[in-house]
């Protein structure tokens, strides 16, 4: 009933199966009709948010595919005022993110027309609109968890399910690297803005941003680190048990297209710091001129400092286990701690003898 009401509100004209004909030259949707559509979308979200991963029978799947086709039209239809259009797109994204994944294929099953965005012969107008919408929300920087995470999740799930979507988004967000003088999070590109979100204080925001980039890298750890830097990638890799680079992630059957490097990247590759993801200036060796005994003494001094901080519960030394996850290094530091305590006792004894 609500789908029919939304169709009537938007004056939907059907073409082939699950294809709504969108006339971009038509007059923009008036304020009254767009407000009515907004209320329908809010109600639809409350009804559909729990069916995201449910198995559907043929009748239900057909209904949700029809709704997805109408929602695609909602994304593309012009409105009176940019703010009104963005609000309509925002609620449309919320409903799309709640629909069963197998019903989202209708977003791409539209014939190509003159001026259409495309990838592999598939119409990408809807994906392109979602990308522009995500970019607007990134620019706003306001209420990111509420405003940005739905579209990030939608693009991630769509990229997992459809090779053409992933390929198109990767071209737009992760083009071949050329400038490796800047950190991945520096600059104003889509990649840099998403990488900055990977260290956001809100866990949900940083997880969504990292997950999208990880999927665009086909869940390949080395490629992910290449585009984001190990420091930015560490959070997601730790959560998935991939910090040692040898762990296996449950991957979909991604295609085997290669990651082509630019000439600029190939020339600088050996000088790139994998942690920061850029070419660093050469730093002087802090141990230059030191003897082996002095180096060993300096190493022991640093270990003892870490042990003091650890015993005071100021820090907790961690290491990467064989399964690629972080674990406390208490077992490995215990011997050093005992040795340090013995050295401190010897120092105290020496001081006492001197005083006597």
Number of other residues whose CB lies within 10 A of the CB of residue 276: 16
User: What confidence score (pLDDT) does residue 68 get?
Assistant: 95
User: What confidence score (pLDDT) does residue 236 get?
Assistant: 92
* CA-closest candidate to residue 133, choices 89, 185, 68, 183: 89
Arithmetic mean of pLDDT over the chain: 85
Q: Is the pLDDT of residue 133 over 80?
A: yes
Q: Which of 43-52, 326-335, 345-354 has the lowest mean pLDDT?
A: 345-354
pLDDT tens string 65-79:
999 999 999 999 999
Q: Where residue 127 falls among pLDDT bands split at 50, 70, 90?
A: very high
Best-predicted range by mean pLDDT (135-149, 265-279, 309-323): 135-149
User: What confidence score (pLDDT) does residue 42 get?
Assistant: 95
Task: Please give the sequence-ordered ranges of beta strands (E in DSSP) within the chain, or none if there are none.
Answer: 118-119, 122-123, 272-273, 278-279, 318-320, 326-328
What pTM was computed for the model?
A: 0.81
pLDDT tens string 181-196:
889 999 999 999 999 9
Q: Is residue 105 helix, strand or coil? A: helix
C-alpha distances in Å from residue 190, one per residue of 138, 183, 231, 342: 9, 14, 19, 55
pLDDT tens string 70-104:
999 999 999 998 999 999 999 999 999 999 888 89
DSSP classification of residue 77: S
Q: Among all chains, which residue has been given the structure tokens 């409903």?
A: 95
Helices (H), 241-329: 263-268, 292-311
Q: Which of 139-143, 175-179, 294-298 has the lowest mean pLDDT?
A: 139-143
Q: Where residue 350 falls among pLDDT bands split at 50, 70, 90?
A: low
Q: Are 240 and 217 in contact (CB under 8 A)?
A: no
93 vs 43: CA distance, rounded Å: 14
C-alpha distances in Å from residue 31, one per residue of 12, 21, 79, 147: 17, 21, 8, 22
User: What confidence score (pLDDT) does residue 276 get?
Assistant: 86
Tokens standing for 190?
């889509």
Number of other residues whose CB lies within 10 A of the CB of residue 2: 14
User: What confidence score (pLDDT) does residue 253 get?
Assistant: 56
Check residues 47 and 53 and name the one with the higher pLDDT: 47
């Amino acid at each position: 009933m609500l789908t029919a009401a939304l169709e009537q509100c938007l004056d939907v004209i059907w073409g082939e199966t699950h294809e709504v004909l969108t006339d971009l030259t038509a007059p923009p949707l008036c304020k009254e009709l767009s407000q009515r559509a907004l209320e329908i979308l809010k109600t639809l979200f409350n009804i559909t948010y729990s069916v995201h991963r449910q198995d559907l029978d043929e009748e239900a799947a057909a209904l949700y595919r029809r709704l997805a086709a109408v929602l695609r039209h909602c994304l593309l239809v012009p409105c009176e005022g940019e703010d009104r259009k963005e609000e309509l797109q925002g609620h449309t994204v919320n409903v799309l993110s709640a629909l069963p994944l197998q019903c989202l294929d209708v977003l791409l099953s539209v014939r190509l027309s003159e001026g259409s965005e495309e990838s592999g012969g598939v119409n990408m107008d809807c994906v392109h609109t979602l990308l522009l919408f995500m970019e607007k929300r990134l620019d706003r920087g306001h209420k990111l968890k509420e405003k940005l995470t739905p579209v990030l999740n939608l693009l991630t799930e769509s990229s997992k399910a459809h090779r053409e979507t992933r390929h198109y988004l990767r071209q737009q967000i992760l083009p071949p690297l050329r400038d490796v003088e800047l950190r991945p999070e520096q600059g104003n590109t889509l990649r840099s803005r998403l990488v900055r979100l990977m260290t956001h204080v809100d866990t949900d925001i940083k997880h969504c941003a990292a997950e999208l980039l990880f999927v665009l890298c086909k869940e390949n750890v080395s490629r992910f680190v290449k585009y984001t830097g190990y420091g930015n990638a560490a959070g997601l890799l730790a959560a998935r048990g991939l910090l040692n680079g040898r762990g296996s992630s449950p991957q979909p059957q991604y295609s085997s297209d290669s990651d082509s490097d630019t000439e600029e990247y190939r020339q600088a590759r050996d000088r790139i710091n994998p942690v920061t993801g850029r070419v660093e200036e050469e730093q002087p060796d802090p141990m230059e001129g030191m003897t082996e005994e002095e180096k060993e003494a300096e190493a022991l001094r640093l270990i003892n400092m870490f042990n003091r901080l650890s015993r005071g519960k100021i820090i907790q030394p961690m290491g990467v286990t064989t399964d690629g996850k972080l674990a406390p290094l208490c077992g490995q530091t215990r011997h050093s701690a005992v040795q340090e305590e013995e050295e401190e006792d010897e120092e105290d004894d020496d001081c006492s003898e001197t005083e006597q």
